[in-house]
């Protein structure tokens, strides 16, 4: 029983161990995608090496975009190895390494976000990579690997091409081993993609590609020259060049691509030669098949101890640093060439339309008019649009069919390019319909040779219906207004209107009205008069309004004062009666006296009121009463009040 | 005695004036007869003599334009038709003749693109000016009338609003057409628009005789002009003549 228990225990332990080891191996298995940078401190003027390794998976690598950082794919390597799996036995493991050159635009701390691998079933991501870009270090003379960490990216500019870092720039060759013979085609070569059998006048697109080995340090690069007889091709320039990294025959190349067009001028076989000129720097022992050699300054005697140490550390232990790194560097001028022979065939005579102008390609035709209802003699514009692909230089305005009733003028033309060999040419032609017998604009036909169909094509548009109003352009005599009818009748009938025979009033001033002094003077006078009248009226109205307002105030105050007087009378208070009467008289006559109401005295009143005025009498009574004089009785107040009221109300 | 002297002076003046007018009318008739007879050069001389002595009139300019047209000088013909039109903007014969000669020589005016241009083209500059002056005078008369007597407030508001509206519209139209007041006509059949005001400089393009252009600036013997299609360039001063006779 014990033995059985022990056996079971051992078996259980082994089983558990197996399971645990399986789980651990699964957990500790290498991740699908890893990313690492060869340094954590990158000088600003140098490039780091970012290595992305993808294990056992295939998919699309998606590089993140980081502001201030540039990634250039440098190389791609695929390795396969066998590993022993603890469960399924031998298994083939494939890993793909991508090496990118990383360059920064400014100093600072950067984090490269996870790099993603997109597969059909799942997406994988690497861990973020953090590093710091530090102040630039002084460039070493040899432009080689410094300390095995960073690689300087010198730049080369094509004449007329914008600055581009790292397209050609490269460190000392890593794969160019000393003693290995290199052909010129291993460094730089041209490819030309085009159609080689063409027709005379046919425009064909041409793609010219200059492929440069990214492992070579290019010092200079001139614009490729094109030589071709009886072929028309514009010279290459730096404006339209496209720069890329492409895999050609299993190797990554830096490519410069020009898209242009070519056309054959004369029938026959014509050769197109493209010649470039590049200057490279490479170890002297790497023998290129052509080019001149110059000794470089770089050798062991010129290198600093740090550089020597750096060179030694940058190579693997299996390399011989003294046999490799300190090999003298040389400067070589190479001239990659490419020739293509074009067969230019003459356009066939058979079926050639009479009014064929040499247009070769594939075109569409469209017409329109500015208006479809016109008066005889009025102009209208016929627009003819030819669009498509081909040699637009030979596309001319199609001729309208002869018609005595339609007068045409030379057209204007406008070309809009919509691609390398495509575009739209628009012709605007002025037209006069002379009389109402015209009911439509005739059809427009355009002929061209289609190189695909190898035949002439005629495109036509339908006639455009027109409504022409009026008797026509023919001159019509106008009734003579004045004398000398015979003379007028003798005037050429080519002209619709006769002479004028009344001289009329003359003037020496031909200026338009706004420039004539009398017009300007009249406008100014009218404006000033209107302004003066308006201002005068406005002031007058304001004064009247003010007077009315004062009058209203006085009337209102008088009513209040009379009410107080009435109240004092009702109360039978003689003192109050006289006092309120005095205030009412002062308020009413202050304006006429020209003093403040409270300052109006009996002497002021005597100047403006008659001597027998009841107001003067009452005012005097009030002054006397203030100094102990008599006050009116009720009866006297009854008598006085209506008289005072009337006298105050009568004052204007 | 004094009265008799005054009457004598008046009579003498009127006789001299009549004789002057009569001689002008005679010369005008003579020039017209020369046009009819086909003596265009002589007729042109006589019309020009009349213009120098008497000044221009719509009829005189019109007939001069006709003589130039018959003589094959279409630039000068269009110039004088344009001048006649500026003096008599509503004259149907002048408008018709100008329209006809332009069409016959392929001198189409560019169609007005914007609504502002279409609107201002409804009337010519002189018509807009007359409208402006009329509106100003009407408003002045209203203000003066209001000083003398009271007028219904509604009538005042309506008339004032109309005057303000017409003034605003005509002023805008005049402002938009301001540049055309300086219009010039190409009178040379070999005129060219050049890139620079230098003889022998690159030619932008040829410009047709009779084409209306607007001067923008001047330099030496050249004038920088813009035609109705918007093309600008330097043209020799002797190849263009201002419509207003500057």
Express each pLDDT in A454-504 by its tens digit. Answer: 899 988 888 888 887 764 444 333 333 333 333 333 333 344 457 888 888
Question: Minimal Cα distance from A429: which residue of B?
Answer: B106
Question: Considering only A23-32, A238-247, B152-161, which range has the smallest mean pLDDT?
Answer: A23-32
More confident residue, A10 or B73: B73
Question: Minimal Cα distance from A410: which residue of B?
Answer: B106
Residue A15 touches chain B, beta carbons under 8 Å = no
DSSP designation for A101: E
More confident residue, B69 or A289: B69
Question: Minimal Cα distance from B149: which residue of A?
Answer: A537
Average pLDDT of every residue of chain A: 75
pLDDT at position B136 over 90 = yes
Task: Give CA–CA dist A624/A578, Å, rounded.
Answer: 10
> pLDDT above 90 covers what percent of chain B?
33
pLDDT at A181: 62
Q: How far is B110 from chain A (nearest CA, A)?
A: 11
Residue with tokens 């691509």: A257
pLDDT at position A166 over 50 = no
Question: With bands split at pLDDT 50, 70 and 90, how would you rate the model's confidence at B240?
Answer: very high
Question: Considering only A319-328, A425-434, B165-174, which range has the smallest mean pLDDT?
Answer: A319-328
Q: How far is B228 from chain A (nearest CA, A)?
A: 15
pLDDT at B187: 92
Question: With bands split at pLDDT 50, 70 and 90, how would you rate the model's confidence at A377?
Answer: low
Catalogue the E-assigned strands of A137-235: 151-152, 188-193, 197-199, 203-212, 217-228, 231-232
pLDDT at A448: 92
Question: With bands split at pLDDT 50, 70 and 90, how would you rate the model's confidence at A309?
Answer: very low
List of chain B residues whose C-beta atoms are within 8 Å of the C-beta of residue A380: none
Does B60 sit within 8 Å of A513, measured CB to CB?
Answer: no
Q: Round to the nearest angstrom and report the end-to-end CA distance of chain B.
A: 49
Q: How far is A398 from chain B (nearest CA, A)?
A: 20
**Residues 349-408 of chain A whose Cβ lies under 8 A from any Cβ of chain B:** 370, 377-379
Q: How far is CA B169 from CA A130, A226, A524, A527, B119, in A?
A: 70, 65, 18, 16, 10
More confident residue, A84 or A525: A525
> pLDDT above 70 covers what percent of chain A?
74
Does B55 sit within 8 Å of A506, measured CB to CB?
Answer: yes
Q: What number of other Cβ atoms are within 10 A of residue B65's Cβ?
A: 27
Task: Give CA–CA dist A255/A210, Å, rounded.
Answer: 6
Compare CB distances from A512 to B33, B60, B244 and report the shortest one's residue.
B244
Q: Round to the nearest angstrom and report the end-to-end CA distance of chain A.
A: 145
> Mean pLDDT throughout B196-214?
87
pLDDT at position A535 over 50 = yes
Question: With bands split at pLDDT 50, 70 and 90, how would you rate the model's confidence at A355?
Answer: confident
Question: With bands split at pLDDT 50, 70 and 90, how would you rate the model's confidence at A173?
Answer: very low
| ipTM score of complex | 0.75
Does B137 sit within 8 Å of A487, measured CB to CB?
Answer: no
Helix or strand run (H / E) with residue A109: strand A108-112
Does A533 sit within 8 Å of B146, measured CB to CB?
Answer: yes
pLDDT at B110: 54
Task: Give CA–CA dist A184/A335, Å, rounded.
Answer: 8
Does B106 sit within 8 Å of A430, measured CB to CB?
Answer: yes
Does A536 sit within 8 Å of B56, measured CB to CB?
Answer: no
Question: Considering only A344-353, A494-503, B145-154, which range has the smallest mean pLDDT?
Answer: A494-503
Residue A524 touches chain B, beta carbons under 8 Å = no
pLDDT at B177: 80
Q: How far is A461 from chain B (nearest CA, A)?
A: 26
DSSP designation for B178: G
Q: How far is A233 from chain B (nearest CA, A)?
A: 27
pLDDT at B159: 94
Per-residue burial over A287-312, b if 16 or more Cβ lie within 10 Å, else e, is bbeebeeeebebeeeebeeebeebbe
Residue with tokens 């005129």: B191
Helix or strand run (H / E) with residue A412: strand A412-417
List of chain A residues whose C-beta atoms are within 8 Å of the C-beta of residue B100: 377, 475, 496
pLDDT at B201: 85
A&B contacts, CB < 8 Å: 132
Contact (CB, 8 A) for A430 and A408: yes
pLDDT at A416: 86
Q: How far is CA A225 from CA A208, A497, B139, B151, in A?
A: 11, 67, 79, 91
More confident residue, A14 or B97: B97
**Residues 183-242 of chain B whose Cβ lies under 8 A from any Cβ of chain A:** none
Does A529 sit within 8 Å of B144, measured CB to CB?
Answer: yes
Does A505 sit within 8 Å of B57, measured CB to CB?
Answer: yes
List of chain B residues whose C-beta atoms are within 8 Å of the C-beta of residue A526: 133, 136-137, 139-140
Q: How far is B198 from chain A (nearest CA, A)?
A: 27
pLDDT at position A352 over 70 = yes
Question: Considering only A11-15, A541-545, B139-143, B230-234, which range has the smallest mean pLDDT?
Answer: A11-15
pLDDT in tens, B51-104: 988 888 999 999 999 999 988 898 999 999 988 888 887 788 888 888 888 888
pLDDT at A147: 33
List of chain A residues whose C-beta atoms are within 8 Å of the C-beta of residue B112: none
pLDDT at B19: 67
Residue B100 touches chain A, beta carbons under 8 Å = yes
List of chain A residues whose C-beta atoms are within 8 Å of the C-beta of residue B54: 503, 506
Task: Give CA–CA dist A179/A186, Å, rounded.
Answer: 15
Structure tokens at B202: 């690159």
Compare CB distances from A526 to B28, B69, B136 and report the shortest one's residue.
B136
Task: Give CA–CA dist B199/A135, Å, rounded.
Answer: 60
List of chain B residues whose C-beta atoms are within 8 Å of the C-beta of residue A522: 133, 136-137
Question: With bands split at pLDDT 50, 70 and 90, how would you rate the model's confidence at A81?
Answer: low
Structure tokens at A504: 């009329």
Task: Give CA–CA dist A312/A148, Å, rounded.
Answer: 9
DSSP structure string for A116-144: EEE-SS-EEEPPPEEEEEEPPPPPPTT--
pLDDT in tens, A564-612: 999 998 888 888 999 999 999 998 888 888 888 888 888 888 888 888 8
């Amino acid at each position: 029983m014990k033995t059985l228990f022990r056996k079971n225990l051992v078996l259980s332990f082994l089983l558990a161990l197996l399971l645990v080891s399986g789980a651990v191996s699964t957990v500790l298995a290498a991740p699908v995608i890893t990313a690492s940078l060869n340094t954590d401190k990158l000088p600003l003027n140098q490039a780091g090496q970012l290595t992305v390794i993808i294990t056992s998976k295939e998919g699309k690598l998606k590089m993140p975009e980081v502001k201030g950082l540039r990634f250039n794919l440098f190389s791609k390597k695929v390795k396969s190895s066998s590993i022993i799996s603890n469960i399924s036995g031998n298994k083939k493991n494939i890993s793909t390494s991508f090496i990118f050159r990383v360059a920064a635009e400014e100093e600072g701390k950067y984090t490269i976000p996870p790099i993603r691998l997109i597969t059909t079933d799942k997406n994988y991501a690497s861990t973020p990579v953090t590093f710091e870009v530090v102040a630039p270090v002084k460039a070493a003379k040899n432009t080689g690997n410094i300390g095995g960490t960073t690689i300087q990216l010198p730049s080369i500019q094509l004449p007329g091409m914008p600055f581009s870092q790292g397209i050609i720039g490269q460190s000392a060759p890593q794969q160019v081993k000393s003693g290995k013979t290199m052909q010129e085609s291993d460094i730089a070569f041209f490819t030309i993609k085009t159609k080689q059998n063409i027709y005379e006048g046919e425009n064909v697109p041409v793609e010219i590609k200059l492929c440069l080995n990214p492992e070579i340090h290019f010092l200079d690069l001139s614009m490729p020259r094109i030589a071709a007889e009886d072929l028309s091709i514009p010279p290459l320039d730096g404006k339209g060049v496209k720069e890329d990294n492409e895999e050609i025959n299993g190797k990554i190349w830096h490519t410069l691509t020009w898209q242009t067009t070519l056309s054959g001028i004369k029938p026959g076989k014509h050769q197109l030669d493209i010649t470039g000129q590049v200057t490279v720097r490479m170890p002297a022992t790497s023998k290129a098949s052509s080019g001149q050699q110059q000794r470089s300054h770089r050798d062991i005697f010129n290198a600093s101890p740090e550089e020597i140490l750096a060179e030694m550390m940058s190579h693997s232990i299996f390399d011989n640093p003294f046999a490799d790194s300190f090999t003298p560097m040389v400067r070589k001028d190479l001239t990659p060439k490419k020739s293509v022979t074009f067969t230019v065939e003459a356009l066939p005579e058979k079926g050639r339309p009479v009014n064929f102008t040499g247009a070769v390609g594939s075109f569409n035709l469209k017409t329109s008019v500015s208006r479809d209802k016109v008066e005889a003699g009025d102009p209208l514009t016929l627009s003819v649009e030819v669009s498509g692909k081909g040699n637009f230089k030979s596309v001319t305005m199609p001729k309208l069919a002869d018609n005595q009733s339609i007068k045409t003028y030379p057209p204007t033309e406008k070309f809009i390019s919509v691609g390398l060999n495509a575009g739209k040419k628009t012709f605007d032609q002025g037209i006069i319909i002379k009389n109402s017998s015209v009911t439509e604009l005739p059809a427009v036909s355009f002929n061209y040779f289609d190189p695909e169909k190898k035949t002439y094509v005629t495109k036509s548009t339908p006639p455009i219906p027109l409504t022409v109003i009026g008797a026509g352009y023919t001159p019509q005599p106008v009734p003579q207004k004045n004398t000398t009818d015979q003379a007028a009748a003798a005037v050429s009938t080519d002209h619709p209107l006769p002479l004028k025979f009344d001289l009329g009033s003359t003037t020496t001033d031909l200026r338009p009205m706004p420039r004539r002094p009398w017009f300007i003077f009249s406008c100014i006078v009218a404006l000033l008069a209107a302004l003066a009248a308006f201002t005068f009226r406005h002031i007058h109205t304001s004064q009247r309004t003010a007077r009315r307002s004062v009058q209203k105030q006085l009337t209102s105050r008088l009513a209040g004062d009379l009410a107080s007087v009435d109240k004092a009378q009702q109360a039978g208070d003689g003192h109050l009666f006289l006092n309120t009467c005095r205030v009412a008289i002062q308020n009413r006559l202050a304006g006429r006296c020209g003093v403040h109401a409270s300052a109006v005295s009996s002497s002021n009143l005597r100047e403006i009121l008659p001597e027998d005025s009841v107001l003067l009498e009452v005012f005097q009574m009030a002054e006397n009463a203030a100094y102990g004089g008599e006050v009116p009785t009720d009866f006297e107040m009854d008598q006085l009040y209506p008289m005072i009221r009337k006298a105050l109300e009568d004052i204007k | 005695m004094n009265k008799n002297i005054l009457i004598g002076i008046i009579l003498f003046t009127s006789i001299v004036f009549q004789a002057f007018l009569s001689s002008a009318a005679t010369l005008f008739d003579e020039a017209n007869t020369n046009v009819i007879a086909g003596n265009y050069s002589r007729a042109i001389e006589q019309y020009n003599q009349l213009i120098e002595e008497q000044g221009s009139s719509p009829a005189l300019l019109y007939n001069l334009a006709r003589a130039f047209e018959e003589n094959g000088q279409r630039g000068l013909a269009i110039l004088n038709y344009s001048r006649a039109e500026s003096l008599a903007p509503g004259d149907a014969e002048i408008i018709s003749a100008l329209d006809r000669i332009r069409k016959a020589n392929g001198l189409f005016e560019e169609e007005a693109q914007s609504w502002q241009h279409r609107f201002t083209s409804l009337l010519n500059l002189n018509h807009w000016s007359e409208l402006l002056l009329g509106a100003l005078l009407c408003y002045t008369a209203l203000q003066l009338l209001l000083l003398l007597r009271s007028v219904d407030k509604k009538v005042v508001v309506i008339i004032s609003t109309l005057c303000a509206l017409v003034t605003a519209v005509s002023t805008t139209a005049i402002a938009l057409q301001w540049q055309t007041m300086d219009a010039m006509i190409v009178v040379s059949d070999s005129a060219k628009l050049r890139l620079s005001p230098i003889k022998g400089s690159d030619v932008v393009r040829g410009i047709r005789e009779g084409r209306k252009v607007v001067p923008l600036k001047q330099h030496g013997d050249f004038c920088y002009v813009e035609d109705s299609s918007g093309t600008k360039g330097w043209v020799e001063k002797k190849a263009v003549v201002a419509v207003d006779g500057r």
